[in-house]
Structure 1
Amino acid sequence: MPQFASESSGHLRRYAVPEGLSPEERFEHWRMWYGSAVETPMRLEKSAHASPVLFTPSAISLAGPGFSLIEIWNAPALGSWAPNPDTRDIRVAYFRKAPTLTLALNGEPEPVSPGSVRFIDTSVGGSFDAPEGFHAVQINIDRSSLDVSETALGSLIRLPDLAKHPLVGTFVVPALLSWKRPGIDREASGTADILRSVMATLVGSLLDVPVEDEAQKPALSRAVKKYLDASYDNPDLDVAMVAERFNLSRRSLFYFFENEELHLGERIRALRTRKALELLLQADAQRITYAEIAASCGFSNVQSMRRAVKEFTGMNVREIHRSETGVRVALKQLRESLMP
């Protein structure tokens, strides 16, 4: 796993090439850092076809129990690594921007399109050619926690781009795009559970191996919550729609949320109520009709909004501005109950 030696905060580490260096010095600084920062030493050389545009490489990582997350903006370069049989990680990389990247993971070079998602095995040698650099995000998970054999890992490495696999869009990419939220370095243990769940669910699907519900639970719960956060204002959103979206039975969905403070249907209602309270508290709320607020929050009608507001605050809608302090306290509690 990466051992970032620069600015750090708990498990979170960052690296950037210092200012004031010449282009040659910048590349040498990056090359020296890069070659020593990763578990499997990488060798970097300048690409013969490097873009003339000045590129500023940088990296950020989060390391925790049995996992690491890495986001890297790589300089234009040729990179290679020797086989490292001691590597115990299973790695998935999401190449967000890779306009001219070529990877050689199985002996044969192949182009990688922007948005591609691939497994990478550094226990065998490989290389890349990135004349314009690339931007990638990577999950590394201790393989022993996933019970993935050498044969199974070989099968995963040989898979082509996984970007269109439904579980990648549902679980993997959201995990890779949302991990830099404030305070995540203080949540390393919980993050480890989610990432192992993400990887177990994906690997189980790709290898057609059953995955226990308990192993899927952290990843699925988080993915469903993110989906609800983005979709609560759809008046048609209900448990049946969520079950169809994630290809699960209603019973399975209720199981995944049985120990949550808010069950699935309650969470949808709470999200709508939170937004309604925020709108009702706005200074110009009087210019917005209750019907407009209800519709913009996903409530089927004004009466549904009134009942939800009464349930969560103990007040009628008309009392909101007369008891603003109490409403803000209730809103704060509602927001806390909706945290991922």
Structure 2
Amino acid sequence: MSGKRLTLPRPRIGLGLAALGRPGYINLGHGEDMPDGRDVEAMRAHCHAMLDTAWQRGIRYVDAARSYGRAEAFLGDWLAERADEQRPAVGSKWGYTYTAGWRVDADVHEVKEHSRAVLDRQWGETLEALGFPPVLYQIHSATLDSGVLDNAAVLERLGELRDQGVAIGLTTSGPAQAETLARAMEVEIEGRPLFDAVQATANLFEPSVLGQLEKASEAGMAVIIKEAVANGRLTARNDRPKDAPALQTLDAVAGRHGVGRDALAIGWLLDHPFVDMVLSGAGNAEQLGSNLRALDITLAPPDREALAALAERPESYWSTRGGLDWN
């Protein structure tokens, strides 16, 4: 990946902590992945076990965020017990505040605010939780309507962090991801592009941002993919009747490669050479092992043709995602 302003470690699969730092998430069947006890200590132990497994399986990049419950604190505790050479690279995010109070049935799980005050507060919280600066610090779910890409005070502070050696990125969500990324690519501080990386939602059901991601890669940004298995819709857990025809196609191709739906979905993303990293949102060791089989997949032209037919209209995909239950 020559020319990138940020070099991410190999392999090209990292571990995301969105489902491991809090008791509730929107992944299909998420509750089945969690320990019997959902108290903080049980979740901490489960998260640490997953981090141990990820390291043993070769994963060298971990993704967290202030809004992922206690994910940063769990990760910081785990890192503190390891030597420097035994630590993965860490990326984190600011802009959402966790508000669920460790409840799965909370009315509001997280609150978004892209202000300078929140950036300053959460940067300090991230440093305290991790014990050192993350390699990559990202605006969490930047959108055009949030105004963050035009907020001079925020951009100036992010430029200061960049000058201190922290790579700066943004994550994107929603049907307008491509437009948001295109705007972000125009942002410069002191004559240099501000953003070193983008983390976008892309998968077989929602590939609409891939063209803009390729342009971002060509411009020197590292490209990270989240929600590669569409919050469980591209896994064996999906029994939604509306998805049955697409899953039949997915199963046929996966069967030819001797892998599960999840590995094929991730392997399809890795088939795009401009993708630097795909995040696994695995909730247990078995899922992580299955995800990692994606590294061994080589797709043929007929595979790509069959899988291309699974794409949904972005508006439809995001409407479905918005209706998934916290569990």
Give the TM-score of the pair, scaled to structure 1.
0.24
With CA pairs under 8 Å and 6+ residues apart, which has the higher RCO, 1 or 2?
A: 2
Which has the higher Rg, Structure 1 or Structure 2?
1
What TM-score comes out, normalization by structure 2 length?
0.24
